[in-house]
Chain A
Amino acid sequence: MTQTKPLVALRLALKILFLFASSAWAQIDVGDYTISGSGEIGGLPQGFKGDRSRFEEYRDIPETVIVPQLQLMIGGKKEDFYLNFDTYKTGLNDQQYTLRAGRYGLLDMEFQWDQIPHWFDNQFARTPYAVNNPGQTTFFTLGSKPTATTATTSCATSPLCQWLNGNAHSIDLSLYNGIARFNLRYTPTPEWTFTGSYWQNHNVGSRAFGTLFGTSPGSFNITELAEPIDYQTYNIELGGEYHGNGWSLGVKYNGSIFNNLHSTIVWDNPMNLSNSNPVNGALTGPCVNSAVLNYATGAGSCQGRLDLYPNNQAHSFTITGAATLPYKSNFMGTVSYGYMLQNAPFLPFTINSAIAQPTISQRSLGGDVRPLLVNATLVNNFFENVNLKAFYRYYGMDNHSTQVLMPQGFVNLDSVLMPGAIQNVIYSYAKNSMGVEGSYNFNRWLSAKLNWGYERMHRHNLEVFNQDFFTFGQTVDIKPTSDLLLRASNKYLWGNDSPYFYFADPNVPVTTASNLSRKFFEAASRENKTSLFAQYSPRENLMFYWGFEYYNANYLFATLGTQYDNNYSPSVGVNYTPFNWLKLFANYNWDKYTWLLKAMDRTNTATQTPSNSCTPFVPPSQNRCWNSNGVDQANTVSVGSDIDLIEKILGLRLQFTFSNGSSIVYGSGDQQSTTPAGNDPPVKNSWYQLLARFEYNIQKNVALRFGYYYNHYTEKDFGVDIMQQWMGNVDVVPTPNANTARSVFLGDRIKAPYTANVGFFTVSFKF
Chain B
Amino acid sequence: MKQFLLLGVFCVLLFGWPAVARSAESEAPKPGPPTYVGSEVCKACHPTQFEKFSQTMMGKIFLFNARNEEEKRACENCHGPGSNHVAAGGGRSVGGLITFRKDSGESAKVQNEACLGCHQRGVQTYWAASPHAGRGLSCVNCHTIMERTTQKQLAKIGEKTPFFNLRAEIEVCGQCHLQRQAQLYRSSHMPLREGKLVCTNCHNPHGTPNPSQLKQASVNENCYTCHTERRGPFLWTHAPAFENCSICHEPHGTVNDRLLKVTDPRLCTQCHMSVQHPVTPRPPTSVFFFNRSCTNCHSQIHGSNHPSGQFFQR
Contact = CB atoms under 8 A, between A and B. Distances in A.
B179 A260 contact: no
B151 to A, nearest CB: 8
Given A482-B103, A678-B281, A709-B163, A399 B196 contact: no
Contact of B196 (A104, A116, A636): A116
A406 interface: yes
17 contacts: A105-B71, A210-B292, A210-B299, A217-B276, A248-B125, A342-B305, A368-B233, A393-B209, A410-B307, A413-B308, A482-B103, A521-B243, A601-B281, A653-B164, A677-B281, A705-B161, A720-B291
Given A105-B66, A675-B281, 16 more contacts: A61-B162, A104-B61, A310-B305, A365-B305, A391-B129, A391-B209, A397-B243, A502-B274, A517-B274, A571-B182, A589-B178, A597-B269, A630-B266, A665-B266, A670-B281, A678-B283
B48 interface: no
A678 B163 CA distance: 42
Interface in A492-515: 502, 504-505
Tell which of B65, B269, B299 has the most Cβ of chain A within 10 Å: B299
Interface of B: 54, 57, 60-61, 63-68, 70-71, 102-103, 105, 107, 118, 120-122, 125-126, 128-129, 134-136, 151, 160-165, 175-176, 178-179, 181-183, 185-187, 191, 194, 196, 209-210, 217-218, 220-221, 224-226, 228-237, 239-240, 242-244, 247, 254-257, 261-263, 266, 269-271, 273-277, 279-287, 289-293, 295-300, 304-311, 313-314
A93 B227 CA distance: 21
B25 to A, nearest CB: 32
Contact of B239 (A427, A573, A715): A427
Tell which of B194, B217, B254 has the most Cβ of chain A within 10 Å: B217
A659 B290 CA distance: 25
Contact of A691 (B164, B237, B291, B310): B164
Nearest to A401: B233
Interface in A466-520: 475, 477, 479, 482, 487, 502, 504-505, 517, 519-520
Interface string A168-192: 0000000000000000000001100
Given A94-B194, A105-B67, A630-B262, A737 B105 contact: no
Tell which of A332, A346, A404 has the most Cβ of chain B within 10 Å: A332
Contacts of B236: 424
Given A250-B122, A256-B228, A762 B290 contact: no
Contact of A322 (B125, B239, B244): B125
A758 B161 CA distance: 14
Contact of A605 (B209, B225, B271, B274): B274
A211 B299 contact: yes
B274 A505 contact: yes
Contacts of A69: 160-161
B122 A241 contact: yes
B185 A659 contact: yes
Secondary structure call for the B interface: loop
Nearest to A239: B122
Tell which of A103, A320, A368, A633 has the most Cβ of chain B within 10 Å: A320
A603 B154 CA distance: 59
Interface string A228-242: 000101010000010
A395 interface: yes
A346 B178 contact: no
Contacts of A114: 196
Nearest to A572: B178
A727 B290 contact: yes
Contact of A636 (B118, B182, B256): B182
A667 interface: yes
A694 to B, nearest CB: 12
Given A601-B281, A630-B266, A731-B287, A79 B64 contact: yes
A61 B161 CA distance: 12
Interface in A6-42: 40, 42
A718 to B, nearest CB: 5
Nearest to A318: B217
Contacts of A57: 191, 194
Interface stretch (A134-142, A269-277, A280-288, A371-379): A371-379
B8 to A, nearest CB: 53
B67 A387 contact: no
A336 B129 contact: no
Contacts of B217: 336, 371, 373, 395
A116 B271 contact: no
Interface stretch (A155-163, A643-651, A738-746): A738-746
A350 B287 contact: no
Contacts of B243: 397, 427, 429, 459, 521
B162 A66 contact: yes
A368 B273 CA distance: 31
Interface string A682-719: 01010101010100000000000100010100010011
Given A371-B217, A519-B271, A520-B270, A314 B224 contact: yes
B291 to A, nearest CB: 6
A406 B64 contact: no
A656 interface: no
Nearest to B314: A306
Contacts of A393: 209
A397 B300 CA distance: 22
B251 to A, nearest CB: 15
A169 to B, nearest CB: 20
Contacts of B232: 310, 312, 340, 342, 367, 369
A350 B191 CA distance: 39
Contacts of A201: 226, 228
A320 B208 CA distance: 11
Given A212-B313, A347-B307, A762-B161, A751 B187 contact: yes
A456 B254 CA distance: 30
B255 A634 contact: yes
Contact of B125 (A320, A422, A626): A320
A525 B151 CA distance: 44
A342 B234 contact: yes
Nearest to A653: B164
A530 interface: no
A719 B295 contact: no
A371 B221 contact: yes
Contact of B163 (A243, A589, A758): A758
Interface in A643-683: 653, 657, 659, 661-663, 665, 667, 670, 673, 675-678, 680-681, 683
Contacts of B291: 224, 719-720, 723, 727, 745
A687 B235 contact: no
A452 interface: no
A549 B162 contact: no
B185 to A, nearest CB: 4
A422 B266 contact: no
A487 B175 CA distance: 13
A739 B277 CA distance: 14
A477 B239 contact: no
